[in-house]
Structure 1
């Protein structure tokens, strides 16, 4: 009973099978008229010098489904597809944002994964961010869409582009074997997993990565949150400190990303955005990917965590570290100051 009473104060009941709640900054607009929007975009593209502001105003303030309707109407009016028209009218970071908005969240993630594995050298940072931060439900949809878009299996591409234990961890995640959250808290399993993580790492010489990978890729998120809490009663180091001590390189980054996302996914994204905008000349690719991929998922909550952690709003930070039409598009997707 001691183990149970020790836990009761710190655990909340988590109900299984529920979809994660969403906190979007971009929602469907009321009184939506796709034909009117399409005509306005057509005029904006044909304007001498291109009227970027109109394109930004429309595409950043419509939901993905509404943008799809606009694209359909645009093709009817202009006799060419909207993607081709935007590629011809825009360039650089603004083009990347607008073309990203014409994909569903899963299509966007799939295309970002593809480009991170294309050509010479892999963009491990992007690969880690997407694979380690998406839920099993999101990864299942990404795999389906990836196959439709590129006629290839995501896991085969990941296996061909990565190696060693890094590849094993990513493949374990892509295979989506994670347990569904349960409304029953299994204290014994929490204790077993916490002890197994300790005995496979800090307690021994060399790390038993098979155990680490299987626990991190197969247990439900609420379960793992409790495991990491329990872990502290076995190990002198917390889970993140243990990872830093036991592994290095891409594998270390992957495990840390997983733990940070299990603990507070929106804070993880907030910190990524802060880091990407810290340097002179923001890491635009990272900023674009997070804002575009999360604006219909949880960007509102990312904004809250960002302000709490960094003492200034995401909106203000975007304003300070980006410029021009790209800045306007991001600020519109951010949808307000905090």
Structure 2
């Protein structure tokens, strides 16, 4: 079981809190806590959920031998299909043209055959084809050579470069499902991965991740997560897992006022914190509604909602609530910040760097690059160049798609 979630309980994180009469006299909020509430989110609502064009044999993305075993398998059964990601236009990786799956498969086989490996060919092909094309290459590879492309990649490559190349071969929802499975597998729980994925995915994406998780691992994702988490952190995760956030269909100003007042009374005006009010409102209201609530909350309290969350909660619940708020304001800004802190300081959080670069490369990485440059006075490209090396760096830079300076 994970460590204590550290929720505020009845005392919150603050010491002595002024009464309601002092609310209007508070100091202005700290600068730079969040993106402006009105800023549009680049990753818009999903428009289609079409099946992948090709349906791979079980071994084409899984363990050696193609036995079709479940558990840690990455592939699909011969008659099962998974939903495809919605068609976004703000990714750095798009469909390659002219595309020839057989020619790419032959080039990859030549690059990995015999002594030594031509890593340059491998990384160039896999980072410049979109995921659907990579699946066609994997199918052609098996048809032409009777070999599993992912198995060959694992055999011929090593380290972080291997992890990145294998990650690129996972279809999008399998990628998320695999990350969640490993976040709750074994001793300890990786709360960072649960927070990042469930706070940032749309309701439709969450539903598809749950479906794919059930198909791939014959297990219920919600059951697995509730078995490894606890407290208010667990409750907010469960709310997000329902994928039932209200649709964006106009804003009711009366409800905006009501929700802002409820949050104010549940936090700043209360000795202790009513976490359930924060969980319900932040986990179920629509994006456009919550942006207006954040504006109204600032007017009522004199504080940004992030400041209140910081004072009133702690531990994993605080991190999850803040991630939800940041994603409501701007998903690209949230991921720009995530990437920045994965490389800031001594050492690099390569797992986070790979996870974000792969998962957003066909979604909104262009917008993430813009937010990165705006908020951190340097480009994502330059920071990757400084913090990584070798073929791993070359592949990440190709996924990044260019320098913004």
With the shorter chain as reference, the TM-score category is: over 0.9
Say whether 1:98 aligns with 2:145: no
Question: Which residue, 100, 118, 121 being the options, matches 1:54?
Answer: 121
Partner of 1:189: 255
User: 1:220-231 to 2 correspondence within 5 Å?
Assistant: 220-231=286-297
Spell out the pairing of 1:265-304 with structure 2 (5 A cutoff). Answer: 265-304=331-370
Deviation at 1:209, TM superposition (A): 1.4
Q: Secondary structure at the match of 1:165?
A: helix
Task: Find the counterpart in structure 1 of residue 27 from structure 2.
Answer: none
- Taking the aligned partners of 1:72 and 1:269, their CA distance within structure 2 comes to 32
Show the 5 A alignment for 1:48-87: 48-87=115-154
Q: Provide closer, same or farther for how the CA distance between residues 17 and 276 of structure 1 changes in structure 2, counting only shifts above 3 A.
A: closer
Is 1:135 the counterpart of 2:209 in the alignment?
no
Pair 1:13–1:156, CA change in 2 (3 A): closer
Distance change >3 Å, CA 205–CA 333, structure 1 → 2: same
1:33 aligned to 2:97?
Answer: no
Structure 1 distance, partners of 2:104, 2:209, is: 29
Distance (Å, rounded) in 1 between the aligned partners of 2:122 and 2:201? 30
Q: 2:338 matched to 1:263? A: no
Which residue is equivalent to 1:107?
174
Q: Which runs of 5+ in 2 are unaligned?
A: 1-36, 48-85
Give the number of the structure whose residues are more often helix, by fraction: 1
Match status 1:176 vs 2:243: yes
CA–CA separation in structure 2 for the residues paired with 1:266 and 1:284: 19
Q: Are residue 23 (structure 1) and residue 90 (structure 2) matched?
A: yes
Distance 1:240 1:68, change over 3 A: same
| Alpha-carbon offset, residue 278 of structure 1 | 1.1
Once the two structures are superposed, what CA deviation does each residue of 1:85-117 show, in whole Å capped at 9, x if it has no partner? Answer: 111111111111111111122111110011111
Could you tell me which runs of 5 or more consecutive residues in structure 1 were left unpaired when the two chains were aligned: 1-9
Partner of residue 332, structure 1: 398
Q: Please list every run of at least 4 consecutive aligned residues from structure 1 whose deviation after the TM superposition is greater than 3 angstroms.
A: 10-14, 16-22
Aligned-residue offset at 1:11: 6.8
1:116 is aligned, of 179, 183, 186, to 183
Give, in whole Å, the separation in 2 of the partners of 1:179 and 1:226: 14
Q: Please, what TM-score do these two structures have when normalized by structure 2?
A: 0.78
TM-score, normalised with respect to structure 1: 0.93
The whole-number CA distance in structure 2 between the counterparts of 1:282 and 1:306 is 17
Q: How many residues align?
A: 327
